[in-house]
Structure formats: C-alpha cells, structure tokens
Structure 1
Amino acid sequence: MSGGSNILDRLVKERENILLAEMAAWFHDWQKCIPFWRKHGAELNPGNIASKLDAYRPPLPGSTNASLSLKEIVEQGRNPSQAKKSPDWRVRLLGICHDKAHFDKPEFQELGQQSDLISTVFGFETPPDVNIALEELVLATQHLTDRSQYRRHLKKAFIQAVGDTRRPINEVTLWDWGGASAGLWKAVASQIVLESLSEEPAQPYWRMLSIRFDGLQFLEQAPTISDLIGRHAALQAALDGVRYLLEIEYPLGNEVYRDENGSVFVVPALTGDDAEGNRLRGLVEGLILEHLRQSELGGELRPAIYITEADKQAAVLHKALEIPPPPVAPFQDSVACWWRGEPADICTVCGVRPQGWGAPNEYQKQKAQQRNVCYVCLQRRGRRSQIWAHARHKTTSEERSPWEQSIWLDEIADEYGRLALIVGKFDLSQWLNGKMIRTLLVVCDPSQNTYESKNPSFARIQRVWRTTQVFWQTVTSEDIPAVIQSKWDRIAIAIENGDELQQHLGDYHAYEAEINGRRLTVVWDSEAKVLLTAENILSWGENSQKLLDDLPDRLSLYEPGGYGQRRGFLCHAHIDKNRSQIFRDAYVPTMTLLTEPNAFMALIPASAALELATKIKQRYELEMSKVCNRLPLFIGTIFFDRRQPLFSALDAGRRLLKVSFSSKECEVIQNRACTQQNGDFLPS
C-alpha cells in the first residue's frame, strides 16, 4: 500500500491544476446554449461568461508557470481537428475526448428535423426553462473555485439546453455532453500525472470501476420508517464520501452512474495493467474500503469492487452492471471490535452490533437497550426527528421543507386511521445491459434500408436510470400533493415542568399522551420545552383548536410498547395552554420512502390511494408512451390500519416489489412502411 500511496500522492500534488482544467471540459461546448435559449426569448451576453473563464489560467501539471486560460482551452479544444495541432496536451486531450463523446451523439446526415424542445431518453419532449437556466449559469461562473458549487449550478443550467437540436438526439443535454467529455478527460489526465507522461497516450483507453452491494437488501432490514430512511441516508452519505475520495482528494475520475446498489466511476486504463485492472486495484481498493469502513455505515456493509476491461470508447458500463451485487455483509474486523466484551443481545435494526453499542455514557446505552437497538441506529432515528422539529423555526422554503413533510405514521393516516403504502417499479434489466437501448433508432429510412441504433454509452445508460428516477420524484412532488390537496395542522403543547420531563424523556423521541382514554402521539422538543403532536388531528374532532381546548391540565406520558410489549408509564406533563401554539396548514400528509427506479415506496392516507394510482398510470402513459412495450411499470397498493405493526406493511410492499414481470415473445409477421413525424417513425 505504501507504494500505491506514493504514486497517488502525485495526484494530490497536481489536484488543483487537474480540477481547474477539468472545468474547461465541462464548459467546452457551453456556447451551444446561446442560440437554443435565444429561440425561447432569453437575453444572454456571451462575453460575460467568457470573461469569467478567461480569468483562470491553471498551470500545466508538472509546471508552476501559468499557461492557457480556461477560455482558451475551451475554444481550442472543442474542435478536434484544430485541437490536435495545439502544443498543450490538455487541449489535444480535450479534442480527443470531445470526439470520443460523439459515441453518445453520432453524426448522420439523415438525422431528423430541428427541435426547440428537450427530449428524455424515451422520447418525451418538454420546453426548457430558460429563466432558471440563465440565472444558474451566471451563478456557476461566480463559483468557479468551488467545484461542488459550480457543478450544482451548472447542472441546473445545462439540463435546460441540448447538445444537438436534431431529433432524436435532442435527448443529449449539455450537462450529459459536458459530463461525458469531462469524465473521459479527467481519467486520462490522471493517467498522465500518475505515469509522469509528457503528453497524452496516442490511443487512450478507459475502464469502469464499480463499488457494488445489495442496497435494497440492506434497506429491507429496516423494521421502521425512521430506520429505513436513516439507513438510506447513511448509504448515500457513504457513497458521497467515495465520490469525494476519487473525484477530488485523489482526482482519478468521475462518477458516471449511481443506483441503490452503488456507484460506478470512469477511470484510466493504466499502461501495462492486466485485463482485470489489478494494478489500478492495488492503488485504490484499500483506500475505498477503509473509507467505507469509517463512513456513516460504520463498517456494517462491505462492498465488492469490480474493474471492467479496458475500452477505447469507455462503452463498458453495461458490463459493470451485469455483475450481480454481493450479499449484505459487514467488515469482519469491525464485527470483532463490536462484540469484544459485549455480552448483549443483537440490535434489531442493523443485526450486526450489540444493543447499546457505541453509546457515549451509561444512560444513553440503557436508552438504546430499552429500544432493542445499538446506539448507532438510535442516533439515525433521533437526528431525523431533531431536523424535523428544528425546521419549524426556519424562514426559507428549503429550510422549512422537513417540517412541511411528515415523518410520523400517525400523521399520515386518514380520519378513519387508515393508510396506504404505494409501491412501484420499472423493469430496467434489459435497458441497463444495453439491449433495449439498441432498439432506439437514430436513423430510420426504410426506403433505403437504412437503420442505425443508438449506442449504449455510459451517459445514455445513466440517462435511462435518471429519467425513471425523475419519474418517481415527479410523482412525489406533483401528483401526490395534487391528490391530497389540503394541508393539516400541528400543535406545539407548552409544558410548565420541562426540567422535570427532561429527566425522563429522550430528546426528540416519540411518546404517547393519554387523553380521556385515547392515545395521542407526541414528540418531546427538549430545547423549546414543548410536546409536538405527531398525529392526524382531524381524527380527534373538527379542528385543532378544539383538541387544544380539551387538553387536561396534566398529561400522562408513556413509552410506546413494541410488538407484543406493553407501554410503560414515564411521567406527568403540566400543560400551559396560553403558551401553546397551533401551526395551521403545517404539512402534507405523505411520506416518500424510496424513489429508486426499481423501488418506489410512499405512504399516503388510504382515502387517496386509488386516485394516486390512476395519476401514476396517466403519467406513465404520457411520458413513456413510445417505449411502453419495452419498459413495463408495476404499481401495487397495501392498505392497513395505523395501529398495525409497520413492518408487516413494509414486508408486504417488499414482496410486491419482488413480483417478476411476465414476458412474451412475439413474431413479426408483416413489416409496414413508416413515415417520420416530429422525430417519430410511425406506420404510414
């Protein structure tokens, strides 16, 4: 490992120069957005953007002298025939990568008519939002020294512009186009630095490095919603850390694909490496595994690392995704550490650590053991509740977003105490391996017997995943609020004996308050000394004011009982109605658990379930109509009572998601002539 670390130190030394020059690849075709946005009424001064790029002159790696500006690298590198004449290898390499990226956007004279719209990979077209795009492009150029910031703004701008206006390749946005070129460029640039080359390889090759695990199996182990969302957040935080490791700390390549089973990076094919990429593996595998072991996952998920064969088009993402993910398993040395001197029962959430493990003191350890979990899993629950409670004090819509959503099951139940778990999935198995992408045509001219299929580039495979994920995200942001329509209230119940309660209640934990023989779910906000309602108030009467007026002066608080367990009395809370507060229209009663293409889960009131299922079907028929015979959609609904153990509903949802799609082979018995209309080839 020491030899590998010494070699990677070369990347650390040249990190700033590589990352600055990488920016030129992201921006290299930015001027294509000018005529496209102007068609939609935008007013853009290109000189303002160019002047920002001209202000940065990253030194050539291995040199301290400033050379070409980013503007000059962009202008010279976007034309491959001119770029090869440049004395600067960064420009020559950009020209090569621009040319290689055309694998995603092939040039044919027979391409369709011009379009002012942006298409998805499945052919659904929408107009760009040029106002947002212009604003975000300006913001991107104002944060060029902050990679995460300029990329965040640049993505919002460039997904509103196309790399080509001709159908059907108007699916390639400038974000996809720039991202493909930047990923290819950065990988070869890192190879030049690692191998101390003076120029780019005559024929660059690339590999895909994948970090894979069975993400759905890992999430399925969560018995409650808080555990599921906490595990999902920990998973994404760990992958974000790996991305930082390989994109910034050791700038080796870029992440080009991510799903619930891990990430894939485009990386260089090092000189003299074998077919399995063992030289590259020796450099990075230990770093990646150690980072994941120390991440928020805490060693409970050990991934497998795969490296594909080298390819001169980097068209091997589908091969990386063909390998089945390994089963969920922890790091063995972490297991030995957890159980050393710990004769406790096993955590009911992670299933690998002892109950109470990781607590900073004996009190917190006992609190975790009372809930049959380790302290790590308890913390994942608590942080989410704390963020939710704090968000009510925020002013911006983004900061208040957690408060305006629900994280409590009892809040989502309709007035009769019923909920519905909506599940859905797409079958992408034949798309991610590239087979169905080959059924999408770039050129179709039956009279000349000319048919050209689209290529399964890593950018296009990523767009397939992204488009189906955006589908579920749009269902969450638009369809669910449209079905539910109204927002519901919450109450903050002020407490007079807050200091006394602090000794008995955990910060931001949920408890049961008994009111006239009924149970009201409340959450203890230790900082504000209030109990926040976490239940649909409509089930208690006509309005929230009536519930507040009917509260007794003294509330009995109980620890909720688990499945097969009785609840336990904790203490009495003395109510101050004058300081209590009603939050009108506080939240939309829904909770989205997963928005992965092959695993969508959302909780909504049972009364809205059938209407939502209809809306999902209508959206599918609109956005996926051109591929509905190749991209099946599954929707399922589970109805249950709010007092029913949640794990039984989640288990039913998981079982529905495991239902396999049926397939049917059909024989073509007659070919009909086709005509082209709006970029589509239809029977004439």
Structure 2
Amino acid sequence: MSKDLNILAENRDALLLAEVAAWLHDMGKCRDEHIDNVSQCPSSKNEKYDYKRDYVNSLNIDTNFLNEQISFEYEKIVTIKELIEKGKPRSSNKPNEKWLIRALGRCHASAHIEKEEAPKEYKQKNDNTWISTPFGYEYEKIKKLNSRLENIPFDKVKKREIIIKSIKDTFVHALGETRRPINEITLDDWSGIVAALYKSSLAGLLLGHKIDNPNFLKWRFLSVRLNSEKIWGESSSIPILLARKEWMETGLDNLKHLLEKTYPLGNEVYRDENGSVFVVPYIEESEFNKALKDLIIETMPYDGEIQVHPTIQDESWWGQYYDRKSPEENKVPRISSIISGDIPSISANPNNVEKWWEGKRCSICTVSHLRPADSRSSNRNISDYWLKKVTGRAKEWKRQQESTIWIDEVADSNGKICLLVGKLEISCWLKKDGYIETLLVKLPERDSPEIKKTPSFARISRVWRTTKKFWEEVKTNDLDKYRIDKRIKVFVEFKPEESNKIQINNSYEAVSEDDIRFTIFYAGNNEYIIIENLELIAKKIKSKYKNSDKKAHELIKEYLRGQNLKIYDPDGKKRDKPLGSLQVSDIIFEDANYVPVIPILAEPSIFMAIVPADKALDIGRMIKKKYEEEMGKVRNRLPLTLGMVFAKSHTPISSLMDAGRRMLKNTSTVQKWKVRSVNDEEPCASGYMFRTLEFENGTKWKVPVTMRDGQTKDIWYPYFYFGDNEDSKPESREKSFKGPDGWLVHASEIEKGDVLRILPSTFDFEFLDSSSRRFEVYYDDEGKRWDKTKSSRPYLLEELDEFDKIWSIVGPKKLNRSQLKKIMYLLETKREEWPVEDKENVQVFRNYASDVLRNANWKQAKPENEDFDKIVNAAVTEKLKDVIELYMDILKISENEQEDNGGI
C-alpha cells in the first residue's frame, strides 16, 4: 500500500466532514425565503434575505453543527459555518483568506459554467416556481422547503452515509438557480458536484500536491469499465443472471467505498451497467497512480474471474476558467469519451484458474465457465462458489417474496415472456459541442448574439441522472398496475428414487399423473411453492377436463388434492430421469403482492425487463406516452429505441439478451421529414400548449411550446434542425440560431413545406421460436432489418398506436383466424411473385390487395373508406403482415381477449 494513501486514511474524519460542508455550502437556497426573494415580486419581508448568512433564521434546527472544525496539517482551522458563508467564487481571489475557503470558492466556480446570465424577466413567481429537467419538462413545483430542511439530521454530520443521504433527499426538491431556463439543475445535482471537486482537491493537498493559488486546481477522471454483457448477459437462467449482476455491482460498491470513505480520494460521479467514473485530483506522479491502481485491483479481485483495468484519464480539466472574462478557456470535463469508449475485454487471472483445477477431474461450472463443477453441488454442473450465490438469491426471495426471480411466474397464460428493451440516445448530450448547446438561455438580439447553454459538469450530470430516473420510474411506477395477489403452497411427502436428494432453495419441475407440468420451489420441511403463472396451469387443466368457472387458484387446489407428482431437475445432469415422487398432503393459498416482472437494467441510457408477453404492448405504450410527455420538446434530438423480444418461457435467457442487445445497437440516423401542415392547439389538462406538426410520412407530433404554467412561452427548448444540410439557413425566422450541426428553428416558426432533420424513435419486435432466430435481428446501414421478409422493421415509435388501430379493424371480431391466414397467404405469395419494390408495380399490388380485402368474409360490415384505405396501405407496406404476426401468432389474442389487450 502506498504511504501516500495512508495519509488519506489518517485524515479521513476531516476529509469527510469537509465533504459534508461542501454539500451544505449552498443550503440557504433550500429555504422558502430564498424562493420568494429571487422571484418576480418578492415580499418586502424577504427582499433582503441573504442565503449565505440567513439560512438558519426561524428554522427549528440545532445550529451546533456549524461550529464543527475542519483541520489539516499546515492549514488554518475552518468551521462548517465559515465554509458555508464564505464559499463563493470571489473568495478564491482573496490571498489573505484561508486556503480551505478559497479552494471551496474555486470548486464552486469550476462547476458553475452553466451559470449563464438569464435575464431578470425570466424569473418565476414566488408561489409558482418549477423545477425542470434538462429537456424542458417542468415536473415539480417548489414548496415547503423549510420543513424539508428541518428534517435533515444535522446532529449526525460526522456520520457520512446518514447525513448525505438526507441532504440529497432534501436538496432534490430545491434549485441551484430558479430563473428559466436554467432551473434544471437541482440543489442536489449542484451540491454533489461541488462536494466531489472539493473533496478531491483536499485529498490532493494531503498527498503533497498543494496548489498555492486554488484558481489553478485541476482534476482527472478515474474509471473502471467492465463488460456487463460478458459478465452476466450470457447467463442461462434468471437466478444466475441476477446473481452475476449483483456480484458485479458488489465489486463496484466496494470500489465506491474504497475511494469515497476508506481512502477519501474523490466521489463517484457516474455509473451505468458497465462501470463507474470518479473525480480524483490531478496528480502526475506515475508511482502514485500505479499504487492507486494496484489498490483498486486488490479491492475488486472478483476472486480471479475478472481482471480489473482501472484507467486514469490523461487529460486534466479545470471547468470554468478562473477569469470569467475568458470563457473560451473553459475546459469541459470529457466524461462522454469514457462512457462512449471501448470497454476492455473480460479475462480471468490464469493463476487463479490453475489453482482451482489442481487435482480436479470433473465437468466445468455452467455459471462461470471457468471453475470446476464440484461434486458436492448436487447433480447440477455448478461450482460450490456459484451455487452459494445463486441459491442465496433464492433464499432471500423465499424470505420476502415481494417480487419474483422466476421466469415461469412472469410468463403469460400462453407460457410466453417478452424481454422489453429501451434506449435513450444520450451520448450526444454528454459532450462539448453536443446537444446541450442546442438549448438557448437567451435569444439573439440586434446588439448581441444568442446565449446557448454550456455543457458544464453539473448539467452533464443532470442529463444522465434524468434519463436514469426516467427508466427507474418505469420500473417502479408504470409496472405496478400488474400486481398478483395469490401464490399456492403445497405440502408433500418426498419419496426419492435411488439416492437422489432434493436441495432446499432450488426450483424443480413437477409433473402430474396426466402429464400436466409446472414449476415448484422447495422451501424446506416438505413445503413447495408453485412459481408459475397460475392462469397458465389452470389453462392446462381445462384443456384436459371440461371448462370450469372457478378461479385459477381454486381450480389448481382441487386438481392437485391427493396427486402423486413426479419431480425432475431441469438443470441437472439427468434432467430426463425423475428424482422421485411427491405425495400431496395439503394445499394452502398465500396472500401475495408482487409484480410479475423481472427488472434487469434501469441505467441512464438502457432499460431491460422481462415482462409477460401479453402485457408487453401495453407497457410499451406507457413508455411511449411517458417519453412524449417528458422529452416531447427535444424528441427530435433524443430518440428512443424500443424493442420487444418474445419467446416461450423456457427459451435460454442468453438468447433473449443477445437479441435484445442487437435491437439496441441499431442507432438512429438522421432522416429528413417534410412538414405537411401545422396547427396550434389550446392548453391541455397538464397546462401545456402544443403545436402539432404533421409530416408527409404520416407522423404527427404534438410539441409543447409553453412552460408548465401554460402562459410562459418556451423560447428555449423546442427547436428543430432546419433544412437539407447543415448550411441551410432559415430566412425570416426570428427564433433561430446556429447549433453544433446546423441551424435550428423554434417549433412556433416552423411552416408548411419546411424540411426538418430528425433523429427518429423506433420500435422493433421478434419472436424467438428457436435460439438461432436471434441472429436475424441484424440491421443494414439505413437501420432496417437485413432479412427482406422483415425489412419494414423497425417502425417509427409513433406507429405503435397505428398497430392497435389496424388490429381493431381486422381483428377476431371482424375477420376470423382462417380468413386472416388466407389473406396473408394471398398477399405474401403475390409479393414474392411481383417485384413490389419497383415503383411501377406498387399501384398494381395496391389494387390487388384492395380486391383481396374487399372480397374477404367479414363478420360485420366492411370497414369505412378511411379505415379500409389504412389496411390497404398497411398491406402494401407489409405492416399488415407484422400486425397479424404480432397480435394473432405471438400474442394469440382471441375474440374474447381483444377488448382486454392492446387497449382496444
């Protein structure tokens, strides 16, 4: 261990207290008096409020924490009170001020590139002040800040985890700046960045790298990037996948604890599915950097299965230049180059692997593909090391059962699942000269150019935190409506065959006397829990016996009473031979409260979850609606990719994951859309006013053109790249300016006939009837599926609603299954015979499709003209074929189910 690093441990208490002080240095902004004071019309009682000095007035809190002293060798003692009241940018230019105060002022300034001078008329009202996302969606009105501040446990300022969590939970409801449009950075985002810079600056001081003038402080990024796709993405089952994912995350948590607390060098400022990024001081000594990397490798050994490669970015940065009159010298943190860079390949430590296999002659572990499958691991090809981790998750599930880790519980009543994947393309928002600079602070005037937003550290952080929150809310809120309220527990007597044993906390397959199969979990003491969709089991029972009106759990209880079940281990070496039999003695119902969904990822750009197949479209529509509401002002620059991989429940998870990742790799490319018409609309229930843009490709966008109050015109966010190329300059458009990739025009000034450059959002789907089908998920240079029979995919995200409309026109209530099959046979056979892609043949094929559909045996009256034209157009473009495949073949929606699926 480096001697230098010991210095950080010896000064841990002072470093962590200084970090808390930096978190609190702008706490005066978390006051109702502050919001009133900086509003359009402040009350006379608050017009002299000083958020740096009056932050504790009238608050019911103990102020003793302000006198806590922070001391480092060779530096004058400071208190938390001094840091809060004097921690301003101008303090860094005061040579007689204490260095620790000057350094905090410099860290404040370094992070504050985004403090553009928004005009005073952009102030909000004191009783109607909103917090915005970086994309212009105002989602929370500020209120009751004093009571929130009072709830922070200031008596625990020396207990880092407690105090910082409380500060973050409070500051997320306050702002660093209330003026529009720079009201997008919460006090939580802002204070966290300043704290990270300050903490690493003091660590550099202790390590002997004191900068006499804090204005010249610099920082670096330290990152550990791991290939999650190789670590857990190729797992063969959900329990294994979740165990591998938790194993990886535990290593990253250990690293975070090491660098933030054990040796307080800096803070984690970014994490996604592939690793973490930390702010650290700029230290050039190669010996120190090598010692630091060695320590990280020692802390994150992953027991030899993964070799870690920490990287310290060569380039340093200082954020806002110390002389604010020279903004061209600002140096933006290049975090995007780390996030978008190549991820190191995964390799094991050969010495560890050699040691594992000494004296062993057995099969290889199917979890790690590295370790020996120890003989003590029952009849499963799994090492003792991984058996403990996998069954540990099952044991934890047995204790709580508030969620599910079992694929068969997720499967729908047809035994199908869907891997739902989503991606928000944020990489262009996380860099200098990126899309942050397509957002205005102030429109250009005759005597001055426009003021664009700057990609500061705090703003970049806010972008990825916002998109991460988007996916987390999908996981926790939007899926909550599908809760299940019953599970079944079966009490049995196990009679083994040969010397077989049943292991506690494992899943098995039970087979009834008349070959009805379902999945069970052994909880111990002859107790088994059915971990399969009860509607699916009931459906199997009904297929062998007459229909029953009983509820699924009641029917299953009646059926299983007195049964003698065979039990198999589907993951074992002898999966075709029963382990024994289970004589059912009793069956009970247990109240349950879980969502039949297995979340996998909810990261800044990527979302993955396994959901019931029959709920996938509904969930996809919820995501689409949420996206349009929250990202509607920038959707042309922030595309959403949505993918659905359907499969039977026992399809290898690794195949689903591979297909899902293939869908996410199809990056949107710029398309040119011509405007057919524009229309201004009245305010809606949410408060926004919209402008509807209809494009010649049939797509309609409702673009919000006001802020949340419905009155303030949004002159900052809803801009579109204009023209056929980057040099196209709009004429006579007052609300226009030059962005990183060309000229942008405000939505309110877009006219009929304009050509706009759009990054489109898309959705795609595939049914894996075999694992090899995943290789058909492959895209050409234009972003379309390589397979000619699926060349219409992916579709624009907006067409998801049109799928529903088309199905409502031709679905089971209008045409029966055999009719739909005949129609598709006729159309697709003729499509193969005729080169429909040739323009001169399109009208001929359209006439043929019209005749086929008109002569179909409709159950009800034929569709009206508009609907009929819609399905004819869908037949020509192959959309009708995909609609029928999705709803009829994959989801198997019948006439009775149609009203309960797809929102029809």
Q: Structure 1: which 5+ runs fail to align?
A: 357-361, 392-402
| SS across alignment from 1:474 | helix
The separation in 1 between residues aligned to 2:223 and 2:418, in whole angstroms, is 36
Which amino acid in structure 2 is aligned with residue 26 of structure 1?
A: W
Which of 18, 24, 27 in structure 2 is aligned with 1:27?
24
User: Would you say the 8 A contact 2:598–2:609 is kept in 1?
Assistant: yes
- In the alignment, what sits opposite 1:396? none
Which of 7, 10, 15 in structure 2 is aligned with 1:10?
7
- In the alignment, what sits opposite 1:185? 198
The separation in 2 between residues aligned to 1:128 and 1:301, in whole angstroms, is 47
| SS across alignment from 2:271 | strand
Do structure 1's residue 683 and structure 2's residue 748 form an aligned pair? yes
The separation in 2 between residues aligned to 1:327 and 1:283, in whole angstroms, is 23
- Report the CA distance shift for 1:649/1:6 in structure 2 as closer, same or farther (over 3 A): closer
User: Would you say the 8 A contact 2:13–2:158 is kept in 1?
Assistant: no
Matched-pair identity in %: 31
For the aligned residue pairs, the C-alpha RMSD in angstroms reads 3.3
User: Would you say the 8 A contact 2:411–2:533 is kept in 1?
Assistant: yes
- In the alignment, what sits opposite 2:425? 427
- Report the CA distance shift for 1:157/1:533 in structure 2 as closer, same or farther (over 3 A): same
- Report the CA distance shift for 1:505/1:145 in structure 2 as closer, same or farther (over 3 A): farther
Q: CA deviation at 1:493?
A: 2.2
Do structure 1's residue 71 and structure 2's residue 81 form an aligned pair? yes
- In the alignment, what sits opposite 1:283? 291
Q: CA deviation at 1:112?
A: 3.2
Which of 289, 311, 315 in structure 2 is aligned with 1:309?
315
The separation in 2 between residues aligned to 1:185 and 1:224, in whole angstroms, is 44
1:616-640 CA-to-partner distances (Å, cap 9, x unmatched) read 1111111111211111111111222
Higher alpha-carbon deviation: 95-104 or 157-166: 95-104
User: Would you say the 8 A contact 1:37–1:161 is kept in 2?
Assistant: no
Do structure 1's residue 321 and structure 2's residue 339 form an aligned pair? yes
Q: CA deviation at 1:647?
A: 3.5
- Report the CA distance shift for 1:18/1:86 in structure 2 as closer, same or farther (over 3 A): farther
| SS across alignment from 2:85 | helix
Q: CA deviation at 1:163?
A: 0.4
TM-score, scaled to structure 1: 0.85
- In the alignment, what sits opposite 2:406? 408
Do structure 1's residue 138 and structure 2's residue 151 form an aligned pair? yes
Q: CA deviation at 1:280?
A: 4.2
1:236-257 CA-to-partner distances (Å, cap 9, x unmatched) read 1111111111111111111111
The separation in 1 between residues aligned to 2:573 and 2:452, in whole angstroms, is 59
Equivalence map 1:657-668=2 (5 Å): 657-664=664-671, 666-667=724-725, 668=728
- Report the CA distance shift for 1:331/1:621 in structure 2 as closer, same or farther (over 3 A): same
Which amino acid in structure 2 is aligned with residue 380 of structure 1?
A: K
1:572-631 CA-to-partner distances (Å, cap 9, x unmatched) read 344442xx5312343222221222244322222222221221121111111111211111
| SS across alignment from 2:355 | helix
The separation in 2 between residues aligned to 1:457 and 1:38, in whole angstroms, is 24
- In the alignment, what sits opposite 1:540? 537
User: Would you say the 8 A contact 1:53–1:69 is kept in 2?
Assistant: no
The separation in 2 between residues aligned to 1:510 and 1:80, in whole angstroms, is 64
Which amino acid in structure 2 is aligned with residue 424 of structure 1?
A: G
- Report the CA distance shift for 1:446/1:326 in structure 2 as closer, same or farther (over 3 A): farther
Do structure 1's residue 257 and structure 2's residue 322 form an aligned pair? no
Q: CA deviation at 1:96?
A: 1.5
| SS across alignment from 1:264 | strand
The separation in 2 between residues aligned to 1:56 and 1:508, in whole angstroms, is 53
The separation in 2 between residues aligned to 1:607 and 1:149, in whole angstroms, is 42
- Report the CA distance shift for 1:566/1:14 in structure 2 as closer, same or farther (over 3 A): closer
Higher alpha-carbon deviation: 124-133 or 458-467: 124-133
- Report the CA distance shift for 1:192/1:82 in structure 2 as closer, same or farther (over 3 A): closer
Q: CA deviation at 1:235?
A: 1.5
| SS across alignment from 1:363 | coil
1:133-160 CA-to-partner distances (Å, cap 9, x unmatched) read 9458624425322211222222111111
User: Would you say the 8 A contact 1:554–1:572 is kept in 2?
Assistant: no
1:83-121 CA-to-partner distances (Å, cap 9, x unmatched) read 836643222211121122211333454783326111111
Q: Structure 2: which 5+ runs fail to align?
A: 40-54, 320-331, 539-550, 673-723, 738-744, 750-904
The separation in 2 between residues aligned to 1:61 and 1:498, in whole angstroms, is 70
User: Would you say the 8 A contact 2:380–2:573 is kept in 1?
Assistant: no
Equivalence map 1:325-364=2 (5 Å): 325-356=343-374, 362-364=375-377
| SS across alignment from 1:184 | helix
1:343-363 CA-to-partner distances (Å, cap 9, x unmatched) read 43333332232323xxxxx52
Equivalence map 1:361-372=2 (5 Å): 362-364=375-377, 367=378, 370-372=379-381
Which of 161, 169, 173 in structure 2 is aligned with 1:156?
169
- Report the CA distance shift for 1:499/1:373 in structure 2 as closer, same or farther (over 3 A): closer
| SS across alignment from 1:683 | helix
Do structure 1's residue 241 and structure 2's residue 250 form an aligned pair? no
- Report the CA distance shift for 1:574/1:63 in structure 2 as closer, same or farther (over 3 A): farther
- Report the CA distance shift for 1:259/1:544 in structure 2 as closer, same or farther (over 3 A): same
Higher alpha-carbon deviation: 77-86 or 118-127: 77-86
- In the alignment, what sits opposite 1:100? 110
User: Would you say the 8 A contact 1:256–1:459 is kept in 2?
Assistant: no
User: Would you say the 8 A contact 1:424–1:634 is kept in 2?
Assistant: yes
1:363-395 CA-to-partner distances (Å, cap 9, x unmatched) read 23xx2xx3323333323321221111101xxxx
- Report the CA distance shift for 1:202/1:441 in structure 2 as closer, same or farther (over 3 A): closer
Do structure 1's residue 452 and structure 2's residue 465 form an aligned pair? no
Q: CA deviation at 1:561?
A: 2.4
Which amino acid in structure 1 is aligned with residue 123 of structure 2?
A: Q
The separation in 2 between residues aligned to 1:501 and 1:146, in whole angstroms, is 58
1:502-551 CA-to-partner distances (Å, cap 9, x unmatched) read 9822221101222232122111112x652111011122332313322332
Q: Which structure has the greater CA radius of gyration?
A: 2
The separation in 1 between residues aligned to 2:617 and 2:338, in whole angstroms, is 39
Which of 43, 48, 62 in structure 1 is aligned with 2:73?
62
User: Would you say the 8 A contact 1:14–1:62 is kept in 2?
Assistant: no
User: Would you say the 8 A contact 2:490–2:584 is kept in 1?
Assistant: yes
Do structure 1's residue 592 and structure 2's residue 603 form an aligned pair? no
The separation in 2 between residues aligned to 1:673 and 1:345, in whole angstroms, is 72
- In the alignment, what sits opposite 2:100? 90
- In the alignment, what sits opposite 2:62? 51
Q: CA deviation at 1:182?
A: 0.7
TM-score, scaled to structure 2: 0.66
User: Would you say the 8 A contact 2:122–2:179 is kept in 1?
Assistant: yes
| SS across alignment from 2:419 | strand
User: Would you say the 8 A contact 1:419–1:603 is kept in 2?
Assistant: yes
User: Would you say the 8 A contact 1:162–1:173 is kept in 2?
Assistant: yes
Which amino acid in structure 2 is aligned with residue 287 of structure 1?
A: L
The separation in 2 between residues aligned to 1:84 and 1:558, in whole angstroms, is 78
The separation in 2 between residues aligned to 1:196 and 1:301, in whole angstroms, is 31
